[in-house]
Structure 1
Amino acid sequence: MVNAEFFAQQFLGNSIQNYCIFAAILLFGLLFKRIFSRLLSRLMFRLFMRIQTGADPKIFIDLLMRPVEVLILFVVVYLAINQLDYPLQEVIFRRSTLVNSLPSVFEITLIEIIDNVFLFLFIVSSFWIFLRIIDFIAYVFEYKATFSESKTDSQMVPFIKELSKILTIVFAVFVILGAVFKLNVATIIAGLGIGGIAVALAAQDTLQNLLGSFTIFADKPFVVGDLVRIDKFEGTIEKVGFRSTLIRTLDKTLVVIPNKKMVDSPLENLSLRNLRRMKFNIGLKYETPVDTMKKISTEIQNFVNNHPATSPDTLVSFDSFGESSLNIQVLYFIEIVDYNEYMHIREDINYRIMQIVTENGAGFAFPSQTVYNEYIGTKAE
């Protein structure tokens, strides 16, 4: 009887029993929220068993652990607060109004504010979970894209992922406006039709870049991993986003180019070419005999033609008389497109050309001048 009377005592409008229930719910939730969040994450993972082939379930659980914990925390705190009756029900705001759509006396209680705050937090944490689920689905498809021969899949997945997350965030905003702030979402959407014109004019460049991204995906002038040259930049495509494309240059710097420029500017897709053209001159000394020059030209042409990485249409010919050298032009095509392999093949051919020149007793010319002095003497008388 003593215990019952003790718990029935009132303090600030609530009994001690209510405060004990409040503390017990709060303590229980804080202690076990991590266990509950892991169990709930595993339960949600079962819904995605069909698309998780090859993916690690741990990744899904790690992605959802934090937002699920936050959601459980909000639920626990809300349930604990609901055990208290007073002074949460008292009016903290009252205003008379003459608007026909509202009552003559507009009142707001503390419990209504708390309900709206927690409703807002519930919606935010729930959509946070949806965003993490989108991340997981994108991860699965990115993993599957690694086994696909087409590079388009690797390019489309990040784009669709960003688009899905943006649409989810926009939908969450409308849900919050309707559920928390009690606004007419249909009226807001209708109003956007008028205001959308002003927004479109203000964000004209952004819209052009967005349309540029759709053009890139439709026409496919390049895909992620292609080596391209645009304007003064040459590098590998790393990512195609909503507004811009990321290019990793040969100097390993990251260049961000707006999609509008990627579509409107002349662009060379170097990965689509089937040959790499090499053209240069070999300058030999002027004292090199004609027969030696012919032999050097023939040996160079035979070597390059028989090289396994070149096409059999090499052209080596005596090109011109230079200011300080006899120029032999070498023109050939390398069939390897990869840049690193191309550089090694080019180096191998250059070394062999040097050997052919030296083995034939010739030498490479360098800029030089010959000065002739004529001595004119005088006869003594």
Structure 2
Amino acid sequence: MTLPPFLQHEFLGNTVGQYLLAGLILLVGGALRRLLSRLLSKVLFRLTKRYTAGVTETELHDLLIQPVSILFLLFTLYLAFSVLRYPMPPDAVEGIEPWPKVALLRVFLLGVIATVTWVVLRMVDFALLVVKRRNELRATARVQRLDNQFLPFAKDLLKVLVIVIGVMVVLGEVFGVNVTALVGGLGIGGLAVAFAAKESLENLIASFTIFLDQPFAVGDLVTAGPVSGTVEKIGFRSTRLRTAEKSYLTVPNKSMIDKPLDNLSLRTSRRVGFSLTFDQRTTSAQLHAIIAASVEAMRAHPLVTQDVQMKFNALTPTGKEVTVQYFVDTTSYDEYLDVKEDLNYRLVEVVEQHGGFFANAPAPVVEAAKV
């Protein structure tokens, strides 16, 4: 079949027909790349469906559509440019590829390696999402808490390994670096690197200590030295806490384990302790009645344990001091405040009922009887 004459016209070493063919490949590839990406994710989901309980096809598609689409675009560009000839410079040596072609091939290879690494990173996200959903369906609350601590850590670790492997492949395949010699050289300079990254290595080791020893988990309320907050994430280098002021606090992992750490979420109850000072006008009979009625009221509360103490502790120049202590059977701070408020009102009512006076309270005004 003879091509029309205008298609055989050459420009920069290629015919118009070759340019049109390259353009057609780009057009078809650009139009079909998202469709092919969707088909690939659908096939992959069906192949793994029996192992992906709790994860939908849409979630897999959302993770893979962008990197896979770019991968198809790169192969479309490769096919389009492969039909073109590259002009040879006048001083070119026979058998050696022209530099524009070599440069484009290296850029293409760099793009492919980077995109494949991106796809693998998304597959890591998908795999850990599957593990998380499967455990949510059948695991206990304690196992789920451990998963919330382990899975982000495992995800970060796997992603770092994938990125390191991707960088090694780029150095070897694109830039021609002898990766074996490079790794051997790192052993020589490893001591210098270790000293330079001393803090980072200490925090990394501390993260493994936290994972193995499990002094706290994601969701626990902890106090370590001067900092306090709810653990939201445990990473390679640091632990993220949400403070009572709702700020997002980042604490190095080393600081979380080299100071006394109080895991407030593991306590069985919350303590309430304070002192009341009664005026000297309050008689001993009134004080006995107030203490007995107050102890009864505190023990009657459904969230107060039976370990209730209210004692006449001391005589002071300002009055009669009574200490109060009880424990609220809850780990919720809001519920703890509600119980305190309820019992504070009840204690005031008991004192009023028995005619007692708090210290520094003004004496009641008694009007003189009219004659």
Q: TM (normalized to structure 2)?
A: 0.91
- CA deviations over 1:211-260 (Å, ceiling 9, x no partner): 00000001100011111111222211111000000111112111111000
Question: For 1:1-381, what aligned pairs fall within 5 Å after superposition?
Answer: 3-87=3-87, 89-90=88-89, 109-147=99-137, 148=139, 149-150=141-142, 151-366=145-360
- Letter of the structure 2 residue corresponding to residue 45 of structure 1: F
Name the CA distance, whole Å, in 2 between partners of 1:136 and 1:196: 34
- Letter of the structure 1 residue corresponding to residue 205 of structure 2: L
- CA deviations over 1:96-120 (Å, ceiling 9, x no partner): xxxxxxxxx9986221111111011
Name the CA distance, whole Å, in 2 between partners of 1:368 and 1:208: 62
- Letter of the structure 1 residue corresponding to residue 133 of structure 2: Y
Contact 2:14/2:84 (<8 A) preserved:
yes
- Letter of the structure 2 residue corresponding to residue 131 of structure 1: L
**Structure 2 gap segments, 5+ residues each:** 364-371
Change in CA separation of 1:2 and 1:19 when aligned onto 2, cut-off 3 Å: same
Change in CA separation of 1:299 and 1:28 when aligned onto 2, cut-off 3 Å: same
Name the CA distance, whole Å, in 2 between partners of 1:74 and 1:106: 24
Name the CA distance, whole Å, in 2 between partners of 1:271 and 1:285: 39
Say how many residue pairs are matched.
358
- Letter of the structure 2 residue corresponding to residue 273 of structure 1: R
Name the CA distance, whole Å, in 2 between partners of 1:28 and 1:366: 90
Contact 1:221/1:269 (<8 A) preserved:
yes
Contact 1:91/1:109 (<8 A) preserved:
no
Q: Per-residue deviation at 1:33? A: 1.6
- Secondary structure of 1:31's match? helix
- Letter of the structure 1 residue corresponding to residue 153 of structure 2: F
RMSD: 2.2
Contact 2:273/2:326 (<8 A) preserved:
yes
Change in CA separation of 1:360 and 1:367 when aligned onto 2, cut-off 3 Å: closer
Segment drifting more, 259-268 vs 352-361: 352-361
Q: Per-residue deviation at 1:140? A: 2.5
**Structure 1 gap segments, 5+ residues each:** 95-104, 370-381
